[in-house]
């Protein structure tokens, strides 16, 4: 089953910018070969269920391995079985409706 998720990972117990930690996760997501799109408050990732969740797990494992003592993550999960739809299809479908 394919899944589309929106992942926001926030290291807890560290000071400073989140950008270096997001960059580490971004690199892991990129290496996974999954479709993804970095956003201002999270990253959209889509693909096979097991591959996506394995990627999320790798992000957690890597950040802990880099010294992050705690991670608070939010994960929104979307599945659809009636037809194929990419996360990239969703915004344009709304934009078409509001541009009249």
Domain boundaries, the chain: 2-98
CA distance 32 to 86: 17
17's torsion region: left (phi>0), alpha (psi -120 to 50) or beta? beta
pLDDT tens track for 55-80:
999 999 999 999 999 999 999 999 99
Q: What is the pTM of this model?
A: 0.89
Cβ neighbors of 3 (< 8 A, separation 6 or more) are 46, 47, 48, 49, 52, 53, 77, 78, 79
- CATH number for 2-98 (one of 3.40.50.720, 3.30.1490.100, 3.30.70.930, 1.10.10.60): it is 3.30.70.930
| 14-49: b (≥16 Cβ within 10 Å) or e | beeeeeebbebbeebbeebebbbeeeeebbbbbbee
pLDDT computed for residue 9 by the predictor: 96
Look at residue 88 and tell me whether its pLDDT is greater than 90. Answer: no
Confidence tier at 39 by pLDDT (50, 70, 90): very high
């Amino acid at each position: 089953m394919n899944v589309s998720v929106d992942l926001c990972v926030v290291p807890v117990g560290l000071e400073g910018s989140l950008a270096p930690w997001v960059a580490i996760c971004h690199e892991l997501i990129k290496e996974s070969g999954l479709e993804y799109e970095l956003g201002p408050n999270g990253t959209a990732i889509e693909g096979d269920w097991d591959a996506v969740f394995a990627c999320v797990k790798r992000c957690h494992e890597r950040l802990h391995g880099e010294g992050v003592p705690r991670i608070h993550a939010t994960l929104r999960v979307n599945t659809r079985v009636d037809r194929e739809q990419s996360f990239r299809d969703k915004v344009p479908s709304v934009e078409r409706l509001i541009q009249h």
